Amino acid sequence: MNDSSSSKFAHLALQGGNKSVAGEIPCWPPQWPSVLEAIQRTWSDGSWGQYHGKTVQEFAHTFAEYLGVKHVWPCSSGTVAVELALRGLGVNATHEVILAGYDFPGNFRAIEAIGARPVLIDVRKNGFVLDEAQLDAALNEKTKAVIASHLHGQLANIEEIKRRLQNRGVSVLEDACQVPGAKLASRPAGTVGDVGTFSFGGSKLMTCGRGGAIVTDCDASLQRIRIAAERGNDAFPLSALQAAALTPQLDTLDDRHAQRLRAAKRLREALSDSRIFRPLDDVWDDADSPAFFKFAIQIPGHHDREYLLQALTAEGAPVFTGFRGFGKRSKRRCEQVGPLANANIAAQNTILLHHPFLLGGEALVDQIGEAFQKIDACFE
Ligand SMILES: *Cc1c(COP(=O)(O)O)cnc(C)c1O
């Protein structure tokens, strides 16, 4: 590095310069009065302590209506939702399940928990979701299901995945844990696959600290889920208190979704000239409306991600690494179709911004954009 660039580095907060992000990042979840009131209502009417009170049913009903889906099975986490959903699709230990080489780690484990074999295929170039063009090479007579997750602000093409599986007896699990509120060609994410899964974990876009749900139109899948979950009682329940906290969030989810989408577009715009920090280049129109549990950025492989993360953190940007990917998993545990080149790039070169800043207003989004621009300018 020459003298002029070292003086640029000197402006970085990491080197003692001023922080780019002066604004406060909102806490998550916020203290919604409607949630407090709902929890207090279960206290007053005594339903908070019941196994089969009305509160969980009311949530399931309201969520089913919001999504336009026949069945909602509330459960204790998104991870359990994925496992139960696979069982709902009839997956057993004789089967193979296709998933992307870059995905939530628990999805791999959910397949293993059933005794089925994970078969890994690549993700889209410069992206994070399963590449449907790779499906053909992975399908065989043992394939029972495909897990397709919407990740980091990118939507999997569930319609196209289903089209490619037609007449092959293979079902699609649409993992919508990161994207309540998102739409695929105007249809709510989670309802396009044969079964959909949601998470209500503490950091997620709909949250009660823990919890999840499986959604489906299929009666037979619901029946298999019921049999897998009932062990004398519901072994993986969502509690009445959790359900109470979730129901009022549905009233305002669409507003928050729209606000997050606007903020994501604004940040993407701020990064459009960056050479180091590349946001997803997906086209977002009104029919396809991605949700942002994380806002994703990829960096070229020759840059030092650890250093960039430190520099961004020092600027006050809420950055994290992505998933580690499954490219290094042992061949004893899974099948790999092809070299998973894009999945490995996603695992190594991704920087994620956690979502709460998207609700913090335009000034905050601009400050975060400036943090990236400032670091980018050091590498001219
Ligand atoms: C969070 C998440 C899950 C699991 O949800 P938990 O409620 O944390 O168990 C599953 N899939 C994806 C894509 C997720 O982001």
Decide if pLDDT at 2 tops 50. no
Q: Does 108 fall in a domain?
A: yes
SS3 per-residue string spanning the chain: CCHHHHHHHCCCHHHCCCCCCCCCCCCCCCCCHHHHHHHHHHHHCCHHHCCCCHHHHHHHHHHHHHHCCCEEEEECCHHHHHHHHHHHCCCCCCCEEEEECCCCHHHHHHHHHHCCEEEEECECCCCCCECHHHHHHHCCCCEEEEEEECECCECCCHHHHHHHHCCCCCEEEEECCCCCCCEECCEECCCCCCEEEEECCCCCCCCCCCCEEEEECCHHHHHHHHHHHECCCECCCCCHHHHHHHCCHHHHHHHHHHHHHHHHHHHHHHCCCCCCCEECCCCCCCCCECCCCEEEEECCCCCCHHHHHHHHHHHCCCEEECCCCCCCCCCCCCEECCCCHHHHHHHHHEEEEEHHHHHCCHHHHHHHHHHHHHHHHCCC
Decide if pLDDT at 3 tops 60. no
Final residue belonging to a domain, choices 215, 230, 251: 251
Final residue belonging to a domain, choices 191, 219, 251: 251
Best residue among 155, 158, 199, 324 to mutate for probing ligand 1's pocket (most ligand atoms within 8 Å of CB) is 199
Decide if pLDDT at 87 tops 90. yes
What pLDDT band is residue 51 in, cutting at 50, 70 and 90?
confident
Distance of CA 211 from the midpoint of ligand 1 (Å) = 10
Q: Does 26 fall in a domain?
A: no
Q: Does 21 fall in a domain?
A: no
Atom of ligand 1 nearest to the CA of 201: 7
| Cβ of residue 84 lying under 6 Å from some atom of ligand 1 | no
233 & 318 share domain = no
What CATH number should be reported for the domain holding residue 59? 3.40.640.10
Decide if pLDDT at 338 tops 70. yes
Question: Which residue has a Cα nearest atom 6 of ligand 1?
Answer: 78
pLDDT in tens, 239-292: 999 999 999 999 999 999 999 999 999 999 999 999 999 999 877 777 789 999
117 & 48 share domain = yes
Atom of ligand 1 nearest to the CA of 178: 15
Distance of CA 203 from the midpoint of ligand 1 (Å) = 10
357 and 315 in contact (C-beta within 8 Å)?
no
For residue 320, what are its two tokens?
Answer: 């994290």
The pLDDT of residue 286 is 72
304 & 165 share domain = no
341 and 122 in contact (C-beta within 8 Å)?
yes
Domain residues for the domain of 87 are 33-251
Final residue belonging to a domain, choices 236, 251, 266: 251
Distance of CA 2 from the midpoint of ligand 1 (Å) = 45
Decide if pLDDT at 66 tops 70. yes
Q: Tell me how far apart the alpha carbons of residues 319 and 31 are, in angstroms, rounded to a whole number.
A: 24
318 & 226 share domain = no
307 & 209 share domain = no
| Cβ of residue 177 lying under 6 Å from some atom of ligand 1 | yes
| Cβ of residue 201 lying under 6 Å from some atom of ligand 1 | yes
83 and 175 in contact (C-beta within 8 Å)?
no
282 & 189 share domain = no
311 & 241 share domain = no
81 & 210 share domain = yes
3 or 155: which leads in pLDDT: 155
| Cβ of residue 79 lying under 6 Å from some atom of ligand 1 | yes
Q: Does 17 fall in a domain?
A: no
Distance of CA 1 from the midpoint of ligand 1 (Å) = 42
The pLDDT of residue 114 is 98
What CATH number should be reported for the domain holding residue 256? 3.90.1150.10
Question: Which residue has a Cα nearest atom 3 of ligand 1?
Answer: 78
Q: Does 2 fall in a domain?
A: no
186 & 327 share domain = no
Q: How many residues does the chain have?
A: 380
Decide if pLDDT at 4 tops 50. no
| Cβ of residue 77 lying under 6 Å from some atom of ligand 1 | yes
What pLDDT band is residue 183 in, cutting at 50, 70 and 90?
very high
93 and 225 in contact (C-beta within 8 Å)?
no
Q: Does 4 fall in a domain?
A: no
- Mean pLDDT in residue range 344-361: 97
What pLDDT band is residue 178 in, cutting at 50, 70 and 90?
very high
pLDDT in tens, 225-240: 999 999 999 999 999 9
Decide if pLDDT at 125 tops 50. yes
The CA-atom distances, in angstroms, between 236 and each of 77, 91, 212, 328 are 8, 19, 10, 31
Q: What percent of the chain has pLDDT over 90?
A: 93
pLDDT in tens, 205-231: 999 999 999 999 999 999 999 999 999
- Mean pLDDT in residue range 313-333: 95
Q: Which residue has the tokens 């400032």?
A: 374
The pLDDT of residue 92 is 98
What pLDDT band is residue 52 in, cutting at 50, 70 and 90?
confident
What pLDDT band is residue 6 in, cutting at 50, 70 and 90?
low
For the chain, give the mean pLDDT: 95
49 & 195 share domain = yes
| Cβ of residue 53 lying under 6 Å from some atom of ligand 1 | no
Total number of domains in the chain: 2
Q: Which of 215, 223, 251, 216 is nearest to 74 (CA)?
A: 215
120 & 241 share domain = yes
Q: Does 262 fall in a domain?
A: yes
Question: Which residue has a Cα nearest atom 4 of ligand 1?
Answer: 78
Atom of ligand 1 nearest to the CA of 80: 9
Atom of ligand 1 nearest to the CA of 150: 13
Q: Tell me how far apart the alpha carbons of residues 90 and 308 are, in angstroms, rounded to a whole number.
A: 45
Q: Does 10 fall in a domain?
A: no
303 & 352 share domain = yes
